[in-house]
Amino acid sequence: MERMKMTVGLGCADRFDETVRAGADEVFCGYVPEKWMEAFGTLRPLNRRESIWTNAQAGPITEMRILKEKANRAGIPVAVTLNAPVYSPPEMPLLAETAELLVREGFDRLIVGNMAALTALNESGVSKNCRIHISGEIGEVNRGMLPLLQRMGTRRVIFHRKMSFGDMRLLSLAMARFSPPMEAEAFAMNELCHFTGAYCSTLHGDLTVPMCRIPWIPGGVSDKKSPPEGAGMRFGAGNGCGLCALRKLRESGVTVVKMAGRGARAEDMPQRIALLRDALCLEAECKTEEEYLLGLCRLLGGKCGGECYYPEAGRFI
């Protein structure tokens, strides 16, 4: 059967060629125009890739044009993030202006992270000329929301990190009934953050330590409840792994898996992308989950890092 597609976070335009060579089918990136920086800076971020001096934003509009030219030659779709969890009313006009600029430059896929931003793009008419991807930053999405999202230009829903496989399946079935069908995307490799994006009030800045980088232990709601047996310290390094969950993601209706690059070292990304590509190809070739997990064990040399992004999927060894 055909393998699931892979979309990869791009830290800068210079990394595009190696990202595609490693196996990415799509890329996504951040862009912050100079006008936004002058008006709001990074303390009122335009997207969830709030860093400016690290590998998080693609660069100025001239660099975005170079990126678009490369993407056109390679036939690789590029999505741009406009997915801050909150925008204030004074920010909305510049948000819409930025979206209009991106669409004029040929970036017809925008990742949007809250309903106010989606409404602003609809009122400005931008959403009629692009494909909207609903970010996991928007929080909970249910079947009752889907017709509204579809009318507002949504073509893909990105499931947030806490969504169960069962909920993914219910949404995917409902999304498949639209014309055109809405795609379902989920993370395969990402930071081990204890928040969903919509409930995160920290910044991924150049000089600040986000909350997901602070060690934590999974536990219950009550202070009296001890951590689960075997629970160890976790933190939001960019190495959370969901490879053993790929078959469950497919069975849940997911057609695109995402590798976030914001928390990973740029020089490590090609190897991680190639590993995910090999795992996706293996999963597509295998008839059963057991066969896939045995093959994955061989692919990883029998070593599991224990940093499971989907602990409910279980480790394969």
How far is it, in rounded angstroms, from Cα 137 to Cα 115? Answer: 10
List all residues 6 or more positions away from 266 whose beta carbon is below 8 Å from its beta carbon: 11, 12, 15, 55
Lowest mean per-residue pLDDT among 113-127, 128-142, 154-168, 208-222: 208-222
- Residue-level pLDDT at 216: 67
Average pLDDT over residues 104-127: 94
Q: Mind listing the pLDDT tens digit for each residue in 263-277? A: 566 778 899 999 999
- Residue-level pLDDT at 183: 97
Q: Is 314 a residue whose pLDDT tops 70?
A: no
Q: Is 106 a residue whose pLDDT tops 50?
A: yes
Task: Let me know if 128 is exposed, middle or buried by CB neighbors in 10 A (0-12, 13-18, 19+).
Answer: exposed
> SS3 of 28, please?
strand
What type of residue is 262? R
- Residue-level pLDDT at 296: 94
Lowest mean per-residue pLDDT among 51-55, 63-67, 141-145: 51-55
- Residue-level pLDDT at 226: 62
More confident residue, 221 or 41: 41
> SS3 of 169, please?
helix
Q: Mind listing the pLDDT tens digit for each residue in 40-58? A: 877 788 887 666 555 557 6
User: For the chain, what percent of residues have pLDDT higher than 70?
Assistant: 82
List the beta strands (DSSP E) in 83-130.
109-112
Q: Any idea how long the chain is?
A: 317
Lowest mean per-residue pLDDT among 81-90, 91-100, 244-253, 273-282: 81-90
List all residues 6 or more positions away from 139 whose beta carbon is below 8 Å from its beta carbon: 160, 196, 197, 198, 199
How far is it, in rounded angstroms, from Cα 3 to Cα 26? Answer: 14
Whether 228 contacts 22, CB under 8 Å: no
Domains recognised in the chain with CATH numbers: 5-313 (3.20.20.70)
- Residue-level pLDDT at 176: 96
Average pLDDT over residues 97-103: 96
Average pLDDT over residues 227-253: 77
Q: Is 206 a residue whose pLDDT tops 80?
A: no
What type of residue is 67? L
Lowest mean per-residue pLDDT among 26-30, 60-64, 106-110, 278-282: 60-64
Whether 107 contacts 138, CB under 8 Å: no
Q: Is 227 a residue whose pLDDT tops 70?
A: no
- Residue-level pLDDT at 268: 82
Enter the pTM of the model. Answer: 0.88
Residue 285 to residues 160, 247, 291, Cα–Cα distance (Å) = 27, 11, 9
- Residue-level pLDDT at 221: 58
**Contacts of 54-58 spanning 24+ positions with Cβ under 8 A:** 54/11, 54/206, 55/11, 55/12, 55/15, 55/261, 55/266, 56/11, 56/30, 56/204, 56/262, 57/12, 57/29, 57/30, 57/31, 57/32, 58/10, 58/12, 58/13, 58/29, 58/30, 58/31
Which residue's structure tokens are 């896939």?
A: 292
Max mean pLDDT among 85-99, 226-240, 273-287 falls in: 273-287
For residue 20, give both structure tokens: 């595609």
Average confidence score pLDDT of the chain: 86
Q: Mind listing the pLDDT tens digit for each residue in 158-167? A: 998 888 999 9
Q: Is 6 a residue whose pLDDT tops 60?
A: yes
